Structure 1
Amino acid sequence: MGPHPTLASILAAHGLEPSGSGPVFRTASGEYYGKTARGRAADQMRGEAASLAAMLQTAPPGLVPKILGYVDADVSALVTEYASRGEGGGGGQAALGRALAEMHRAPRPPRLPCAETGQVVGQDALDRLAAYTGQFGFTVPTHCGATEQDNTWTASWAVFFRERRLGDLVRRIGDARVDRAWARCNELAVPLLLDFTPAPVPVPLHGDLWPGNVAGTTIYDPAGYYGHGEADLGMTRMFGGFSHAFYDAYHAIHPRSQPHYDQRIRLYELYHHLNHALMFGGGYTGGALRIMDELSDWAEGVTAAQT
């Protein structure tokens, strides 16, 4: 059994004859990963392709799989380089931290977005799907897990992360305990943590950076948008798997934002706890509540010390 015809057409356009039916295709020039999607899954694939294109604008070689081809149609398809498991020790962690920091820089000057459907999308069209406007957000919706993210362009990072990320999930969860904890956290902690100088510059983010989306020094399955680079570090803290070498290498290029770096990363981590609470409920809701209470108590102490 061969690959899906749409995947085969992408590979054939590059003169590649794959072996196997996928999702990993072996060819004379290397291994590639391909998948197809319909309906809501196709919307998610569009966001993934655009995220990869955005990241590839600034990523050093090897960090992000290159896109071999993307088809946006009734049956959408995406073929990328295959990210095989590589070095995961200290050397690999340091290299990953450096590469992520190098990716976290502003892309080339802004471009206007457009859509292109029903055909193999060329690199220019992918670039337009991943258009950079100089604001925070993204041209198309992206999905963190099953959750569609509100990527509406916003000039202020504080407004974007408070409203398009944290507040949006709180409203969708619809739990009175979460509502109360968020109201307190939003009043006390958020102003201290999101209004800081120098103001962050929008950079391409992976958006869902946990160990399951890392293969050696390559990152994949993004939920991308343009945001504060340190927001990518929030998810790295949720499940662990990233060493001191990773963070040291990252911050050798991008020093820790000040003040209140540790609490700000905790706030960025909160987004993923809220997202897991929305998707799965259970203990993730309790984890989100604990983080909000922790940050609110911390902020009360900071405010009291200043008066």
Structure 2
Amino acid sequence: MAKKAVPAKSVGKKAVPAKAAAKKAVPGKSAVKKAAPVKKIAVGSPAGETATALVRRARRINRELAEVYPYAHPELDFDNPFQLLVATVLSAQTTDLRVNQTTPALFAKYPTPEDLAAANPEEVEEILRPCGFFRAKTRSVIGLSKALTEDFGGEVPGRLEDLVKLPGVGRKTAFVVLGNAYGRPGITVDTHFQRLVRRWQWTDETDPDKIEAAVGALFPKSDWTDLSHHVIWHGRRICHARKPACGACPIAPLCPAYGEGETDPEKARKLLKYEKGGFPGQRLRPPQAYLDAGGKPAPPLGAA
């Protein structure tokens, strides 16, 4: 015998089976929402490139920057993980040069976490005054030194989850330490990195953690630390926030934002930071080599 069809109940313009409608709401019980699944950052370009094209262009840019900055490295002076950790915390809202001028006196007086943990805050403040926000930074470096002493035996931990628990230490600082003191890959999303990857249309994310995930998906993990150095060095020397030196940029042919800055080669070259005080590890071609006969960006280094 054929089974009878279950009558449907009308809900608005749609019809749903009676059994389904009965399950939809239970009198006296409030609905429990399930947690939304964690969103993964998909590989895709704001400019509409295919995922494959974006990966190829991003990796090509990194290869070109590796030729321009073969010796790119963290520009903070340090002799051990503790010094790098403290110097990175101090570098917020100031220059690496200023930090490098300040830390020798700090580490001479307080060479270990135990020493800095027991320091007189007023004396530390006086040393850190040139770095700006010296009171907050004093609290952070003394606080992280106490945490290292009490929780990690005076050693800087080599795990992300431990580092971010320290006062004044976020993911950016943690990845600087992991990548450069312990050789563990990480992406350092500082202001230069954020600006350039958005300018290059690798991502349109604005949250640092989402930028980290989006860019990390474009590269093998083993490239992350060197990639961070290449991008940051380029942002400090050529691809400036207000006036990028487009006409002297070695990756101009690969950059969707070419033309936002100065495109005349001679004028652009005057904007390069290395002109004003040293540019270790930089390899640049003559200004005219960046444009072809028609005044457009010439092929990048190594192009066929």
With normalisation by structure 1, the TM-score equals 0.25
Give the strand-richer structure, 1 or 2.
1
TM-score by length of 2: 0.25
Question: Which is higher, the Rg of structure 1 or of structure 2?
Answer: 2
